[in-house]
Amino acid sequence: MNRKIERIHELFLQIEKSHPHTGFETPLFDQLIEALKVFKDHKDVELFKIYSIHLHLKKDMPLRDFLYWIVPIERYLNKNLKDEDFIIFNKDENNEAHKIEKKKNPIPLVIVLDNIRSSFNVGSVFRTSEAFNIEKIILAGYSPDPSNPKTQKTTLGSHDYVCWETHPKCLDLVHDLKSQGYYVIAAETTSHAMDLEKPFAFDKKTVFIFGNERFGMDPQVIESCHETRKVPLQGIKNSLNVANAASIFIYEFAKQFTEHKTRLASASMLPGTNG
């Protein structure tokens, strides 16, 4: 049985590799559809879900959407996406925030990870977020959460000390957060992105959104955010691993927030001020 699933996985990867040259007009696409249909009458629920994938695959679909459907295959096979593969790219429907050991006085920052494929990257962001005591992490789309054993392993226990929840669609999530008064910032390198060091306003809680490792953020999500910021880079490749980028963003925000609190404390001690 696993060999059949392995073959489906191989076909996904071969199509991904050939896509820049052939698109989906390749015999491999038809082979993939037939390989998925093999499980049509299977009684195993997970295998029937794999069969159902073929209903979502179209030759005119974007590569980003196509690669969405490799995720349940990889999870069925329990494959680890290596960090060096650098590819971005189900869900527990329980959206209740997990608050096992929530620490007090978190900094007013929420991290959203949208369609992150690598458990390693998610775990790394959890560790950084715990270290700086951020308010919450929201795992959008198919980003693996700590109920996934691989993610839980890579968080090194930090998920017990950071509130987290899941959300099916990042675009809807952005609208929800804005309606709740959050200031939402897309972390993406675009032509209109501002440098990360620009002072933050702390009159509202801030949200950073990070997109998947290969394709970045959906343009609609970027448009819906209040602003876009980037890490100013000087190299030729001009890109960072999503976990590294998140660490830099979180550090800069935490630094500015600490300076902001220090200024407020100093001002309150001046003659003639209340407090």
Mean pLDDT for the chain? Answer: 86
Q: In the prediction, which pLDDT does 105 show?
A: 86
Q: In the prediction, which pLDDT does 273 show?
A: 58
Please, are residues 27 and 99 in contact by the beta-carbon 8 Å criterion? Answer: no
Higher pLDDT, residue 237 or 35: 35
Residue 186's φ and ψ, nearest 5 degrees, are -85, 130
Please, are residues 184 and 229 in contact by the beta-carbon 8 Å criterion? Answer: no
Q: In the prediction, which pLDDT does 265 show?
A: 87
Q: In the prediction, which pLDDT does 103 show?
A: 67
List pLDDT tens digits, range 196-205: 999 999 999 9
| Residue spans per domain, the chain | 2-79, 107-264
Higher pLDDT, residue 70 or 244: 244
Please, are residues 200 and 225 in contact by the beta-carbon 8 Å criterion? Answer: no
List pLDDT tens digits, range 212-268: 888 888 999 999 999 999 998 887 666 789 999 999 999 999 999 999 999 988 887
Q: How many CB atoms lie within 10 A of CB 78?
A: 9
Q: What superfamily does domain 107-264 belong to in CATH? A: SPOUT methyltransferase, trefoil knot domain (3.40.1280.10)
Checking if the pLDDT of 274 tops 70, the result is no
CA distances (Å), origin 87, targets 71, 211, 220, 249: 12, 11, 21, 21
Distance CA 25, CA 103 (A): 53
List pLDDT tens digits, range 55-69: 999 999 988 889 888
Q: How many CB atoms lie within 10 A of CB 207?
A: 25
Q: Which residues contact 17 (CB under 8 A, 6 or more apart)?
A: none
Q: In the prediction, which pLDDT does 234 show?
A: 80
Share of the chain above pLDDT 90, in %: 58
CA distances (Å), origin 5, targets 12, 17, 103, 217: 11, 19, 42, 29
Instruction: Select from 212, 92, 102 the least CA-distant residue to 149.
Output: 92
Instruction: Give me the count of residues in the chain.
Output: 275
List pLDDT tens digits, range 82-125: 443 433 333 333 444 544 455 678 999 999 999 998 889 999 99
Residue 213's φ and ψ, nearest 5 degrees, are -65, -30
When pLDDT is cut at 50, 70 and 90, the band that residue 270 belongs to is confident
Whole-structure pTM value: 0.70
